Amino acid sequence: MNFFKKKVKRSDSGQQWKITKDCLSFILESSRSVYPREFAGLLRVDDVLKDTIIELVLLPGTISGDSHAIFKLHMRPIDFSLVGTIHSHPSPSYHPSEADKALFRKYGKVHMIVAYPFDEQSWQGYDGNGEMLKLQVI
């Protein structure tokens, strides 16, 4: 089974999301650093280029476990440049669970899941409904 084959679409709004290579590298390294626990954070876009993810934001009190990451969303700052979530899976599957999809529906427009081995091919973007979404690395 090929876990890394991607079927992707553009967002329902037609928006093409992008992520900087530096931000993606930081996300992958952060995920590797907490393995075998899950890593979690929020995604911030550039104030001018509102479709480009430039930064990872860590929330105080986030809990990382072997099969879960619990966000303390009440701790997020009032910041309209936060557009979604990122979390890791300690397995080779980046497919969202039902709990992941519930989080996606609750918060944000764009989400990412990175999977073991946390490299450039083991991640996927999702929209707020849990549908695969293309993120261009720039």
**Beta-ladder partners of 111:** 126
* 74 backbone dihedrals φ, ψ, rounded to 5°: -70, -10
Closest CA to 126 of 3, 39, 8, 5: 8
- If you classify domain 22-137 with CATH, what class do you get? alpha beta
| 101-114 pLDDT tens trace | 999 999 999 999 99
Per-residue confidence (pLDDT) for residue 58, from 0 to 100:
86
Global confidence as pTM = 0.84
Give ∠ CA 65-131-92 in degrees, rounded to 5: 40
Domain extents for the chain?
22-137
| From 38, 98, 120, 131, active-site residue | 38
At 80, list the tokens.
């309209």
Average confidence (pLDDT) per 10 residues, the chain, 138 residues: 46 78 97 93 93 90 63 76 95 95 94 97 97 96
Distance CA 22, CA 101 (A): 26
Distance CA 126, CA 138 (A): 18
Per-residue confidence (pLDDT) for residue 9, from 0 to 100:
52
- Is 38 among the residues known to form the active site? yes
